[in-house]
């Protein structure tokens, strides 16, 4: 594999031309002792990518190549690297740095490290370099955030799991999805489809929750035990105080009757939201909303390295298949992927592929 001085990728030039995806080259940050360079093979398309480059989360450092569901081959490792080796197929998710020293880092909560750096759009510690994502030829990542991909999982299947998958796997695992538990997954999209498959694989009873029944057949094929359409009358009534956990993957809170969801939770059940809607006005809550069942609402953020490796093992062992549409990477390909995400027509995750055609072998 060739080894370039510069990395090349498709960057969004500005907030008003965010769909332009200019093909540019840039200097990667200085290579550190714990760094791993990889040649990217494919990259999943996450809602975070769209929110970031269209500017509705604010503060995007243009020009920026996004993409944080990366699979590639290791080209080079720093002298102190022990977690990856040259030639290995590895993945990278949405985070590329944590301090390794704080209480959170030391107890498998490194995604909550207060010095964490996400894979793109943030300045790497000790450098002036803004991280560029996986819509590009190569990536340079601290070994801790590089995950070996088991042989049984095709690259374009594995990639979307590295953010979309782990984002739902972590709360399912942490909050006890398993035999005897009833779990709801709100929103049947990129994250939600993993939610259904992983909750089922962990042994829970899983209900898919969506506005209409349009995705019911798909949800059942993914392994759902039941389906709730919130556009129907009294949808919540049969489920009052029965769910142990509801993972909300919806990307919008418009028109959400949060109370009706919360009333479906059993005592101290959790409503765990993993989406961050853009420009969101939030929801009004009152202590009374929680007191009937002593429920809790909150969020989780990604998942630990340990959980990432566990998830990939589970996927390989059970033969879990991502529902993924492969799109060759190019300006037009990325525009198509953004369009499908924006219109929610993707079934259920896009993955940019054919990197050799765009960036060379």
**Could you tell me the sign of the dihedral formed by the alpha carbons of 201, 203, 209, 212, in that order?**
positive
249 is a contact residue toward a copy of itself (CB under 8 A): no
Residue selected from 300, 322, 336, 350 as contacting a copy of itself according to rule CB under 8 A = 300
- The DSSP bridge pattern shows strands 296-299 and 7-11 to be unpaired
**Residue 126 or 180 with smaller CB distance to a copy of itself:** 180
Residue span binding a copy of itself (CB under 8 A) among the ranges 22-30, 38-46, 298-306, 307-315: 298-306
CA 31 to chain centre: 26
Task: Decide if residue 237 touches a copy of itself (CB under 8 A).
Answer: no
- How many other CB atoms sit within 10 Å of the CB of residue 203? 13
Q: Is 286 in the site for a copy of itself (CB under 8 A)?
A: yes
23, 211, 240, 340: residue in contact with a copy of itself (rule CB under 8 A): 240
- DSSP string spanning 226-247? EEEETTSTTTTGGGTT-EEEEE
Give yes or no for residue 284 binding a copy of itself (CB under 8 A).
yes
Residues in 31-90 that interact with a copy of itself by CB under 8 A: none
Question: How many of the other CB atoms lie within 10 Å of CB of 232?
Answer: 10
Residue placing its CB nearer to a copy of itself in the complex, 72 or 269: 269
280 touches a copy of itself by CB under 8 A: yes
| In the complex, minimum distance from the CB of residue 57 to a copy of itself, in angstroms, rounded to a whole number | 9
Which is nearer to a copy of itself, 290 or 323 (by Cβ)?
Answer: 290
Q: What angle do CA 139, 116, 94 make, to 5 degrees?
A: 45
**Candidates 99-107, 148-156, 199-207, 218-226; binding stretch for a copy of itself (CB under 8 A):** 99-107
Q: Could you say whether residue 285 binds a copy of itself (CB under 8 A)?
A: yes
Closest to 244 in 3D by CA, of 296, 310, 189: 296
Query: What residues form DSSP beta bridges with 205?
Result: 182
Torsion angle defined by CA atoms of residues 316, 320, 325 and 329, in that order, rounded to the nearest 10 degrees? -20
* Closer by beta carbon to a copy of itself, 20 or else 266: 266
Taking contact as CB under 8 A, which single stretch among the options 101-109, 200-208, 305-313, 331-339 is the one that binds a copy of itself? 101-109
231 contacts a copy of itself (rule: CB under 8 A): no
Q: Do residues 111 and 169 make contact, with C-beta atoms less than 8 angstroms apart?
A: no
In the complex, least distance from residue 79 CB atom to a copy of itself, rounded to whole angstroms: 33
- In the numeric block, the tokens 């590009």 are attached to 136
The DSSP H or E segment spanning 49 is helix 47-54
Residues contacting residue 290 through CB under 8 Å, at least 6 positions apart? 262, 296, 297
Q: Using CB under 8 A, pick the residue from 50, 149, 297, 312 that binds a copy of itself.
A: 297
We find the least distance from the C-beta atom of residue 43 to a copy of itself, in angstroms, to be: 23
Residues lying near a copy of itself in the complex (CB under 8 A):
103-104, 107, 109, 112, 114, 174, 240-241, 253, 266-268, 270, 273, 275-277, 280-301
């Amino acid at each position: 594999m060739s080894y370039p001085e510069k990395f090349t990728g498709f960057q969004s030039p500005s907030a008003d031309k965010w769909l332009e995806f200019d093909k540019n080259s840039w200097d990667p940050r200085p290579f550190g002792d714990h760094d791993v360079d990889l040649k990217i093979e494919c990259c999943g398309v996450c809602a975070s990518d769209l929110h970031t480059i269209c500017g509705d989360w604010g503060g995007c450092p243009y020009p920026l190549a996004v993409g944080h569901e990366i699979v590639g081959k290791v080209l080079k490792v720093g002298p102190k690297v022990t977690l990856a080796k040259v030639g290995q197929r590895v993945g990278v998710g949405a985070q590329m740095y944590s301090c390794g020293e704080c209480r959170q880092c030391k107890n498998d909560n490194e995604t909550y490290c207060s010095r964490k750096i996400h894979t793109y759009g943030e300045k790497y510690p000790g450098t002036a370099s803004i991280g560029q994502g996986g819509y590009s030829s190569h990536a340079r990542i601290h070994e801790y955030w590089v995950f070996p991909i088991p042989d049984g999982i095709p690259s374009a299947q594995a990639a979307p799991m590295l953010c979309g998958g782990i984002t739902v796997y972590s709360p399912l695992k942490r909050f006890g999805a398993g035999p005897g538990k009833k779990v709801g997954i709100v929103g049947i999209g990129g994250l939600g489809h993993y939610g259904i498959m992983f909750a089922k694989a962990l042994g829970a009873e899983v209900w898919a929750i969506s506005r209409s029944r349009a995705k019911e057949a798909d949800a059942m094929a993914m392994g759902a035990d039941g389906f709730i359409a919130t556009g129907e009358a009294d949808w919540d009534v049969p489920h009052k105080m029965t769910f142990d956990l509801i993972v909300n993957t919806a990307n919008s809170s418009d028109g959400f009757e949060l109370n009706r969801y919360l009333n479906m939770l059993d005592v101290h059940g959790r409503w765990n939201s993993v989406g961050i809607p853009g420009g969101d006005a939030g929801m009004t809550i009152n202590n009374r909303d929680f007191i009937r069942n002593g429920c809790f609402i909150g969020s989780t953020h990604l998942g630990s390295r340990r959980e990432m490796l566990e998830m990939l093992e589970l996927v390989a062992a059970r033969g879990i298949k991502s529902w993924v549409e492969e799109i060759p990477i190019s300006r037009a390909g990325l525009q198509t992927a953004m369009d499908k995400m924006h219109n929610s027509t993707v079934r259920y995750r896009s993955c940019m592929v054919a990197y050799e055609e765009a960036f060379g072998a």
